[in-house]
Each structure stands twice: as C-alpha cells, then as structure tokens.
Amino acid sequence: MASTPATASDSGEEGRAGLERVRAVLRSVVPPGPPPGPTRPEFWRSPLRGPWLTAVFGLLLLVGVTVLFVTGLLSYASYNPDLARVNDQTPDKGWLGFYLFSWPTAPYWLYRLTQGVHVVLGVVLVPVLLAKLWSVIPKLFEWPPVRSVSHGIERLSLLLLVGGAGFEFVTGILNVQLHYIFPGSFYVLHFYGAWVFIGAFVVHVASRLPRALCAVRPGPVQPSAGTEEAAGLVPPRPAPPTISRRGALGLVGLGSLALLVVTAGQSVGGWWRRTALLAPHGQDPGSGPNGFQINKTAASVGIRPSDIGPAWRLTVRASGRQVILTRGELLAMEQHEAALPIACVEGWSTPDQLWSGVRLTDLAALVGRGTDTPQTLVESVQRGGSFSSVVLRDNQVRDHRSLLAVRVNGAVLSPDHGYPARVIVPGAPGVHNTKWVTRVTFGEPA
C-alpha cells in the first residue's frame, strides 16, 4: 500500500507534539521543585551561614592562597628546572615554565624563608578552607543543578576550584607528612594541580570579590533569605544559634593557631622544634655537632660502608681533564667555612650550621676551569633515587660559600649527613645539597 508522503511542516508539527507529550510524562513522574533532602533550602538550618561569614573566610583565603601560589612558584624556580632533567622530571611543562629565573644564592636563607612560609601557611589555612567550604555547602546542592549554559560553566569552574584546592592541600600535606609517598611524581601532580586550581581561583575571585567586599563592609548585618545579597547562603528557616558568627570565626582562628604552634617549630628550628608535634621527622634531631635534622639516612638509601670507606675517591672532571682525589688529598686542599642552613621542600629547616670544606671554585680550578661554567653536575655514590645527583648553575658554583663540605660544626660529617663529602650551597633547596658526593663534572660553557 502506498502511503502519502508527509510534508515538511507536517513532520515538524508532529515532532513538537511528541516533545510536549514527553514533557507531560516527565512532569507527572518528576514533581516540580527540588527532591526532599539537601537540595531544599530549608534543609540547611545553621543561622551562621550568610554572606558575611563566607566573605570573611573568602578574603582570608584570597590573601593566603596568593602567598601560597607565589611561594610555590618560587619553590619550583629554586630547583632550577630549566637547567637539566636531573633537577626536574616534570614532563611537557612547556610554557608553564615561562617565569623561571636563575635562583640566587643571596640572601642565603631565602629558600628557608619561602618554603617555610609555603608549608606552614598551607597547614594553617586548612581550618579556614574547611570553614569556607562549610559556609557555602548549601550551594553545592543548588536545584536545578544546571539552569543554563552559563550557569553550567560557572558550576564547572567551581568544581575545578574546590577540586583543585582539595587536591593541592591533600598532595602537599601528604608530601610533607608522609615523606614523598609519590616517588618522583609529587612535583608533577602538585605543579599541574596548582595551575588548574589557580586558573579557577582567578575566575572565582574576579566574579565574587565585589560581593565579598560589600558583605564585610559595616552596615545592615544580615540580608534576609531569598534576596539577591543572601545569594543562597542565608537559611530560610534558621535554627536558634548556639554560637555567634564571631565565635565561629574565633574557633577557626584557634584551630589555625593550634596548627601554627605544632608545625612552625620545624621551620624556626632550635628550641622551637620541640613544639613541632606534627613534624614528620620528630622533634629531637639528636645532639652534638651532627645533631641536626637528617632527611634520609645512609642506610635508608642503600649506602654501603664500603662505598664511603677508605676506597672512596672524588673524581673532578671537565672536558678533557680529570683529577681523582683521596679523602686525604681533599683535606689537604685549602679549607673554608660557611654558616648555612639546610632547608627542605617539606618545610622543615635547620638553623645555620658551620660547614667547612673545599670551595667549588677551587675544585673547578683543579681541572683548569674558571667560574664561567654554566652547568656543574654533582653525583653521589648512591645508586639511583631522584636525589642522588644535581645540576648546579654558574652563580651557585661561583659563590664562595658554596662548598664541598667535609666537616660540620667542627666535627667530621656523620655518615647520615653525607660523609665523606657533601655539597652545601647558599639559598638552595635542601635537595640540591647532595650527600655522599663522589664525582663533580664542570660542564661546557653555553
């Protein structure tokens, strides 16, 4: 049987009618309004929630996260990642390395300060971050979840913001507390995470800052629920208060203060280390000249007594020249002193220690090199491991305080601090102070 071909307008009308039927069915199955539970504004009862509290936490985080970001970028730059793959394994960082610069050697406590601030502040901000998330939690359950394309994009950016913040805080804290549970890849995760987070952060601040500044300006206290200013934060059916807003702020502040007290000691050092209950390396680094923080013991990285015994040699190389020294010959060279700290990426640092040993410039001179060497490769007897070698930059080698140290605080280096010889460079992150050094190669001028 032949059917009459439908005209274009017929099928269009049929389509519309079909869509209407689907909508009607949907309406009968899904009742209008949010489903019961957290998607209903009445579910959230705390009378503390409102633009003022959210704005105060938000502004604190604005300042704090900015400092974290800057000190984080500085930490990355301090590795001199553009020098060699030995220093930085981050793949394809490409233009994200745009701002890198030669890390200076002065002031000699520079990394101790920037990284101490980065880690201590990161820990101290945890209560503020949690409080901020708590204050906006009703918005997480906003109904309908997506109202329009622009609303959808905004919510996606919030996902990156909250997810990014959580990711950066968790990876950072795991790293300082659990001592590199991500072998080699922590930098990659924390580095890319930081850029995702900060991108979402900038978008968020740009859209919310005016509102936040308004909310903390003195004036009428709380907008009523449902108004534009309330911005979905003020509960329509608040429970009676059990604490004031300022009280809640004080509680968060106390939490941060408590964290400050139990972490800052590991960066301040000295007597204060005893207060650093959260310090992953413990509070007591021992006593005597070698009684200061040890990152990895000789045994923990597989250094055998024979590696650093009488058979140990130091090889100093430059193109076409090589000198091999025994420990006695190294000690016979001119010895110099420098008071420098060890400052680890994990945030802990030691007060200045008095190192003595041979200047890196004197080692360069041994193989006929001046201070024009752009790269110097330092290698330890350690087999493998990401900290077993480092590439130093010309400004670091040139500094007269940069030593291949053989003694510390008047005593011979202990095996755990790098006996027979370790590098110590002013201003550099701890990881560049290679222990158990066995070979130094002064590279070609660029």
Residues within the interface to ligand MTE (CB under 6 A): 293-296, 301, 342, 344, 380, 382, 385, 387-388, 417-418, 430-431, 433-436
Q: How are beta strands 403-408 and 321-325 bridged, if at all?
A: unpaired
For ligand MTE, the closer of residues 259 and 378 by Cβ is 378
Cβ nearer to ligand MTE, comparing 267 with 434: 434
Q: Which residue matches tokens 């058979």?
A: 311
> Which region, left, alpha or beta, applies to residue 46 given φ > 0 means left and ψ of -120 to 50 means alpha?
beta
Identify which of residues 326 and 388 has a Cβ nearer to ligand MTE in the complex: 388
Choosing among Mo ion, ligand MTE, none, which partner's interface includes residue 294 (Cβ < 5 to 8 Å by kind)?
ligand MTE
Smallest separation, CB 303 to ligand MTE (Å): 8
Which residue in 200, 119, 206 sits closest to 162, CA to CA?
A: 200
Structure tokens at 292: 């200061």
Residue 363 interacting partner from Mo ion, ligand MTE, none (CB closer than 5 to 8 Å by kind): none
Residue 402 Cβ vs ligand MTE, minimum distance, rounded to whole Å: 15
Which of the choices ligand MTE, Mo ion, none does residue 293 contact, using the CB cut-off of 5 to 8 A by kind? Answer: ligand MTE
Residue 434's binding partner among Mo ion, ligand MTE, none (Cβ under 5 to 8 angstroms by kind) is ligand MTE
From the list Mo ion, ligand MTE, none, partner contacted by residue 301 (C-beta under 5 to 8 A by kind) = ligand MTE
Question: How far apart, in whole angstroms, are the C-alpha atoms of residue 233 and residue 235?
Answer: 6
Enumerate the H helices of 94-148 as residue ranges: 110-124, 126-135, 137-140
What tokens does 100 get? 């890198």
The binder of 121, among ligand MTE, Mo ion, none, by C-beta within 5 to 8 A per type, is: none
Q: How many helices (H) and strands (E) does the chain have?
A: 12, 10
Cα–Cα distances in angstroms (integers) from residue 387 to residues 32, 225, 363, in the given order: 60, 56, 22
Looking at the Cβ atoms of 58 and 418, the one nearer to ligand MTE is: 418
Please give the span between the terminal C-alpha atoms of the chain, in angstroms, as a whole number.
86
Residue 60 vs 301, nearer CB to ligand MTE:
301
Question: 46 contacts which partner out of ligand MTE, Mo ion, none, CB within 5 to 8 A by kind?
Answer: none
Considering the complex, state which of residue 141 and residue 387 has its C-beta at the smaller distance from ligand MTE: 387
Which residues face 315 on adjacent strands?
A: 324, 439
Query: What's the closest the beta carbon of residue 356 comes to Mo ion, in angstroms?
Result: 22
Backbone angles phi and psi of 284, in degrees to 5: -115, 105
Closest contact distance (angstroms) between CB of 97 and ligand MTE is: 21
CA atoms within 13 A on the CB side of 111: 30
Nearest distance, CB of residue 224 and ligand MTE, angstroms: 55
User: CB-wise, 49 or 393, nearer to ligand MTE?
Assistant: 393
Nearer to Mo ion, 397 or 431 (CB): 431
Beta strands in 369-444 (DSSP E): 375-380, 389-393, 403-408, 411-412, 422-424, 437-442
Say which entry of Mo ion, ligand MTE, none residue 361 contacts (CB below 5 to 8 A, set by partner kind).
none
Q: Which CB sits closer to ligand MTE, 376 or 380?
A: 380
How far CA 355 is from CA of 19, 96, 340, 417, 426, in Å, comes to 80, 36, 7, 11, 11
Residue 222 C-beta: closest distance to ligand MTE, Å: 50
Residue nearest to ligand MTE (CB): 430
- How many residues are recorded in the chain? 446
Structure tokens at 416: 């755990």
Cα separation, 396 vs 103, whole angstroms: 8
* Neighbour count for residue 309 (Cβ, 10 Å): 10
State the residues that interact with Mo ion by CB under 5 A: 344, 430-431
Q: What is the DSSP letter of 103?
A: P
Amino acid (1-letter code) at residue 413 = L
Smallest distance, ligand MTE to C-beta of residue 388, A:
5
What does 395 interact with, of ligand MTE, Mo ion, none (CB < 5 to 8 A by kind)? none
Distance in Å, CB of 342 to Mo ion, minimum: 8
Closest CA to 347 of 273, 419, 252, 286: 273
Least spacing, CB of residue 379 vs ligand MTE, in Å: 9
Candidates 206, 64, 33; CA nearest to 132 is 64
Nearer to Mo ion, 198 or 276 (CB): 276
The residue number whose beta carbon is nearest to Mo ion equals 344
Residue 441: CB minimum distance to ligand MTE, A: 16
Strand-strand pairing, 314-318 and 437-442: parallel
